[in-house]
Amino acid sequence: MPETSPDDAPPGTAALAFPTDFLWGASTSAYQIEGATNEDGRGPSVWDTFCRMTGRVNHGHTGDIACDHYHRYGDDVRLMKDLGIGAYRFSLAWPRVLPRGRGVANQAGLDFYDRLIDTLLEAGIEPWATLFHWDLPQALDDLGGWTNRDSAGWFADYATIAARRFGDRVKHWATFNEFSVFTLFGYAFGWAPPSISDKAAHLKTIHHVNLAHGDATAVLRAHVPGAAIGAIHSVQPCRPSSDAPEDIAATALFNEHWNLCFPDAQILGTYPPQIGASIEPYVRAGDMARICQPMDWFGLNHYAPMYAKADPGMLWGFVFGALPENLPRTGVGWPIDPSAFEQTLKELTSRYRLPIYVTENGYGSQTQPAPNERAELDDQGRVAYLAGSIEAMHRALRDGAKVRGYFVWSLLDNFEWGAGYGDRFGIVFVDYATQERIPKASARWYAALIKSQKAPPNRPKR
Ligand code: IFM
C-alpha cells in the first residue's frame, strides 16, 4: 500500500500514513442545509410538516432557511476547496426534483443541482450524491409513504430522473442514508415523521425501503456509465446496558433492527432471524433477488456504541439504555469510544466484503449560552474526537479493513432534526442570524490532516 509522508500531520495524527488514494471528504444533507423550502417549485416534505407540529422539534425550529445553501452553495464549495476537501457528499431533495413525489420533474430544482455539481467539478471536488436523506415528499406520505408497496416504484422513477440528468457528471451514488434510523424513528418509536408506532407499518416499511433500494440500484446501473453505487448504513455496536437476561435479549433484537436488517437483505440476500420470521407475510416471491443487487461500496455512518435495555412499553420491547459512567461523552452526550469504530470497520469487512467509505463521522456540541461562539470556534473536543476516530480507522486499515475514504459530518453546522439548531456538528460554524461561515479549529485541523496525506509532488498517485 503506497503511503504518504506524515511529516506535516497535525497533532494527534502524526504517526499516520494513509494510502495516497484515500479519499477525504465532507458530508451534508439537503433538508439540513438547503433552506429555500418554498422556492422555485419545491414541494413540501414530511419534515416540513413535522417541524410545524407543536413540540416535535426543539424551539419550533424548521429547515425553512437552514444554512441557505440553496443560494450560498458557491461560497460553500469555495470553502471546501480552501480546506482541500476531495469529495462532497450531499443529498438531492426528492421534493425539489418532484414536488409531488412523482409525475413531472421540476426543472428549477434540477437546475439547482446542475449548478452545484458543475461548481464542485470546477473546484476539483468529486460529487457524491445520495438520493434519499429522509425528506420524503409529503404527497407520497399522504398515499401511505413507505408503508405502500408502490413506494419502491415511486423511488425508482425518481432515481431514473436523477440518473439521466446527473449521471454524466456524478459517478458516486448512494441510494439511501441510514435506513434503520428513519424507519425505526418514524415507524416504530414515533419520534420522527410520520410519527407512527405500529409493527405492521414498520415491517412493511423495512421491506419496501429495501425493495426501493434494489430497484434504484438497478436504475442507476442502467443509466449511469461507470457508476460506483453504494448504500449508507448507520452501524454502531449495540451493547446491553446491564447483564440482565432481558436486556441482553432486547439488545439482540435492537441489533437486528439497527445494524442488520438492511445490509443483510441488500448484500447477503437474507433477513436476520427474528425480523425474518416477522417480516415473512410481506415478502413475495422474487423480492429478495430484487433487493440483493451487486454493490460497489458500503457507506458507513459511525458515531458511537449504543446501549440498549428491555422496555415492555416500547413497540419492539427495546429502547436506549443508560451509558456506562466511565465513558467520556461528546457535547451532545454520545459516548466516545474509538475502539467501537475500529471494531465496526473490521466486522463489516469480514461480513460484507465490500470496500467501505466512512460517509459520516463527527462530534456534536451544544454551546451554552447558545451560541457561545468563542467556545464553539475553538472546538478542541471535536478535534480530539476526530483524531481518535481517524487513528482508530488507521488501525483498522492496517489490520486489513477495506476502508477507502472518510467524510466528516458535517461541513457546516446545520438543522439537527428534532434537536433543531441547538446541536452543532459542523467543522465550520454558521451564524444563523447572518449566515456567516467561520471555520472552526477542527476545520483547520482537518485541512492540515488532508494536506499531510497528499502525495509529495515527486511521488506518483496510484
Ligand atoms: O445529522 C445527522 C445526519 O442527518 C444523519 N446521521 C447522524 C447525523 C448526526 O445526528
Q: Which of 416, 322, 324 is nearest to 366 (CA)?
A: 416
Return per-residue pLDDT of the chain as tens, 462 residues.
Answer: 334 444 567 766 667 899 999 999 999 999 999 999 999 999 999 999 999 999 999 999 999 999 999 999 999 999 999 999 999 999 999 999 999 999 999 999 999 999 999 999 999 999 999 999 999 999 999 999 999 999 999 999 999 999 999 999 999 999 999 999 999 999 999 999 999 999 999 999 999 999 999 999 999 999 999 999 999 999 999 999 999 999 999 999 999 999 999 999 999 999 999 999 999 999 999 999 999 999 999 999 999 999 999 999 999 999 999 999 999 999 999 999 999 999 999 999 999 999 999 999 999 999 877 788 888 999 999 999 999 999 999 999 999 999 999 999 999 999 999 999 999 999 999 999 999 999 999 999 999 999 999 865 554 444
Q: CA of 122: how far to CAs of 24, 26, 81, in Å?
A: 18, 17, 10
Q: Which of 32, 417, 423, 430 to mutate to test the pocket of ligand 1 (most atoms within 8 A of CB)?
A: 417
Ligand 1 test: best mutation among 45, 300, 301, 332, most atoms within 8 Å of CB? 301
CA atoms of 5 and 30, how far apart (whole Å) = 36
* SS3 category, 35: coil
Distance 285 CA to ligand 1 centre (A): 35
- Record the pTM: 0.96
Is there a cis peptide before residue 410, judged by omega within 30 degrees of 0? Answer: yes
**Residue bearing cell 441510514:** 178
Which of 33, 91, 409, 430 for a ligand 1 pocket mutation test, highest count of atoms within 8 Å of Cβ?
A: 409
Q: Which of 256, 360, 376, 416 is catalytic?
A: 360
What is the distance in A from the centroid of ligand 1 to the CA of 229?
Answer: 21
- Taking the centre of ligand 1 as the mean of its atom positions, its distance from the CA of residue 420, in whole angstroms, is 12
Q: Which atom of ligand 1 is nearest to the CA of 133?
A: 4
Digit-coded pLDDT (tens) for 248-304: 999 999 999 999 999 999 999 999 999 999 999 999 999 999 999 999 999 999 999
Q: If we measure between CA atoms, which residue out of 109, 94, 101 comes closest to residue 40?
A: 109
Q: Whose CA is nearest to atom 1 of ligand 1?
A: 416
Rounded Cα distance, 123 and 315, in Å = 48
Concerning whether 178 is annotated as a catalytic residue, the answer is: yes
Secondary structure string (H, E, C) spanning 389-430: HHHHHHHHHHCCCCEEEEEEECCECCCCHHHCCCCECCCEEE
Q: Judge whether 3 counts as a catalytic residue.
A: no
135 lines ligand 1 (CB under 6 A): no
B/e letters for 163-184, b = 16+ CB within 10 Å, e = fewer, are: bebbbeebbbbbbbbbbbbbbb
Beta strand residue intervals within 102-215, DSSP E:
126-132, 172-177
